[in-house]
Structure 1
Amino acid sequence: MNSAQDLLQLIQLKQTEDNKFQGFSKSVGSPNVFGGQVLAQAINAATRTITNGRILHSLHSYFLEPGHLEIPIVYDVSVVRDGGSFSVRRVTAQQHKKIIFILSASFQREEEGYEHQIEMKSNIKSPDELMSWTDLLETYRDVLPSRIKGFFEIERPIEFKPTQIVNPFDEKDLPPFTDVWIKLKGDVSNLSRSDKQQILTYISDYNILTAAMNRHASKANWNNTQTASLDHSMWFFRDFDYDDWLLYSIESPNTSNARGFAKGNLFTRDGVLIASVAQEGLMRPK
């Protein structure tokens, strides 16, 4: 995958029965299915059962089992409620009749109301000043550890520009936050609001546990620590476009009991808050 259209093709599911859908997987460098893919596909399934024009405003999910890359995933949607303003759907994802993931999603009709938002950090470097993952690979290919180089070499439909480049050989603890600019590759015109939300859900599972790992970087790294997404929640606030960079600003308030907790906010380049994310992930020393 190297474009927005490739990603949309992956997210778009095949309907097999009423409220039942099937999806396939693409690797992002892990031996298991990427959590962001399952999230986005589950939201695609839930959205396909919404017939009243309501818009996704929140999701809450749990990852129960690792997904196998070669086995199709079956998504079964339950229509929980269609009320006067809100519609709720529950989605289970299965492989070989074993549930690997569950999700609840709520959709709301558009309404007018009070508004406020927090401000985006003012001291963040612009994406024009920063190196992307692609730039880092091209510049440091000969000195990067093999696992990091292999991860960077995988084609992705998204370009990432971290605001701080961390030397993996430094082995020193860092502040428990990370800020990453993100941008879709390829044609991003004519995306529906639902398309944009599903893509953003996919992207939201990237980078988030890095903030929790940073605080323990003198001891913990991706080679000696078993990591996995345990749960994932997301709230959507405003419509947006992918024609410019978005900032994913993440912090980790806590790690304990071999789990790391992180939360993030997604802003447009001009500071409009479009969504918030929270995730707890496994961080188990091997």
Structure 2
Amino acid sequence: MTTPVQDLLTLLDLEDIDVDLFRGAQPDSERARVYGGQVAAQALVAATRTVDEGYAVHSLHSYFLLPGDYSVPIVYDVERIRDGRSFLTRRVVARQHGRPIYYQTLNFQRPEEGWEHQDVQPEVGRPEDGIDMVELMRSRGAEDADALGKEWNAIDVRYLGNTRHGLPDHPVHQAQAQMWIRVKDRLPDDPVAHLGTFAYASDISLLGASLAAHPADPRTTMMASLDHTIWFHRPFRADEWWLYDQWSPSASGGRGLSLGRVFTEDGTLVATVAQEGLIRPRR
């Protein structure tokens, strides 16, 4: 009997089917479309397989083109755009049924010394002060809460609140959300395991921040990720608590933009995430 974390690592362990061509398995899911964090994480792993160990990913930028289908595997085709002495660039296209469903471009860098500064972590409650994310979704009537709870079973999410529920008014940000996240069990020391599982979890609730300033009912609101970007600033472990400090600077035209800063428990800023997505009443 495997654990949910072992199942997640298996999901991210792609099959090599040809040079720079990989196949990703699918989990047993009751949802209608593939979870975006899964596709982003599998594409990151595929790109990493084509890069020398002396380089580390520092950014990825991606677009979700079509809903993924859980009934068939996803094929990831990696293109080697540039191999330089300091930086490498890869482009990944994810395909199903002969059509692209997702594009990801990644940049890798050979680690080097440089100037350092970072934002200060906001004052927030501890992980034990938070509410289980899936339980919160169930209480608010989210239709796919049970299916997501099964799919996210390897991830521990402790929700601290948002602008309408639990967080104080902010002088600048009109829409906020904050939560602590970690992979539930200890991961191997392989950096790819931490990068992949973090990318998987980074899609959790990000669009929710863009709805935090509005009386939107999850049962009557259509939400879909359009793009997803991650900048990796410093190494960290995905199996130790990290704060996901999210806010939405703008929503308009049926789209919401959300940004997220990722801090470890000691206050180190390790990543920044951005996502724009569809947020509109169901028609």
One fold, TM greater than 0.5? Answer: yes
2: CA distance, partners of 1:71 / 1:236: 31
2: CA distance, partners of 1:112 / 1:66: 41
Query: What residue is the counterpart of 1:117 in the other structure?
Result: 118
Q: Which runs of 5+ in 2 are unaligned?
A: 166-172
From 247, 250, 262, the counterpart of 2:258: 262
Query: What residue is the counterpart of 1:171 in the other structure?
Result: none
Query: What residue is the counterpart of 1:200 in the other structure?
Result: 198
Query: What residue is the counterpart of 1:246 in the other structure?
Result: 242
Answer whether contact 2:198 2:238 (CA < 8 A) is retained: no
2:220 corresponds to 1:224: yes
2: CA distance, partners of 1:36 / 1:203: 6
1: CA distance, partners of 2:53 / 2:145: 46
Answer whether contact 1:177 1:252 (CA < 8 A) is retained: yes
Query: What residue is the counterpart of 2:180 in the other structure?
Result: 181
* 1:142-221 map, 5 Å: 145=141, 147=143, 150-151=146-147, 153-154=149-150, 156-164=153-161, 175-188=174-187, 190-216=188-214, 218=215, 220-221=216-217
- Going from structure 1 to structure 2, the CA distance change for 1:109 and 1:33 (only over 3 Å counts) comes to same
Give 1:82 shift: 0.4
2:76 corresponds to 1:79: no
Give 1:244 shift: 2.9
Q: What letter corresponds to residue 184 of structure 1 in structure 2? A: V
Answer whether contact 1:57 1:106 (CA < 8 A) is retained: yes
Task: Give deviations 1:54-106, integer Å, cap 9, x for gaps.
Answer: 00000000000000011111100000010110000000000011000111000
* 1:3-22 map, 5 Å: 3-22=4-23
From 274, 277, 280, the counterpart of 2:273: 277
Give 1:226 shift: 1.3
Answer whether contact 1:26 1:33 (CA < 8 A) is retained: no
Give 1:30 shift: 3.4
Q: Which runs of 5+ in 1 are unaligned?
A: 169-173
Is the partner of 1:91 in helix, strand or coil?
A: strand
Is the partner of 2:157 in helix, strand or coil?
A: strand
> Cα RMSD (Å) of the superposition?
2.4
Q: What letter corresponds to residue 208 of structure 2 in structure 1? A: T
1: CA distance, partners of 2:218 / 2:59: 30
- Going from structure 1 to structure 2, the CA distance change for 1:65 and 1:277 (only over 3 Å counts) comes to same
Answer whether contact 2:257 2:277 (CA < 8 A) is retained: yes
1: CA distance, partners of 2:149 / 2:5: 18
Is the partner of 1:154 in helix, strand or coil?
A: helix
Give 1:175 shift: 4.5
- How many residue pairs were aligned? 273
Query: What residue is the counterpart of 2:133 in the other structure?
Result: 133
Is the partner of 1:251 in helix, strand or coil?
A: strand
Give 1:246 shift: 0.9
Q: What letter corresponds to residue 206 of structure 1 in structure 2? A: I
TM-score normalised to the size of structure 2?
A: 0.89
Give 1:28 shift: 6.3
Query: What residue is the counterpart of 1:40 in the other structure?
Result: 41
TM-score normalised to the size of structure 1?
A: 0.88
Is the partner of 1:183 in helix, strand or coil?
A: strand
1: CA distance, partners of 2:243 / 2:94: 30
Task: Give deviations 1:8-67, integer Å, cap 9, x for gaps.
Answer: 110111010000000122266631000000000000110000025200000000000000
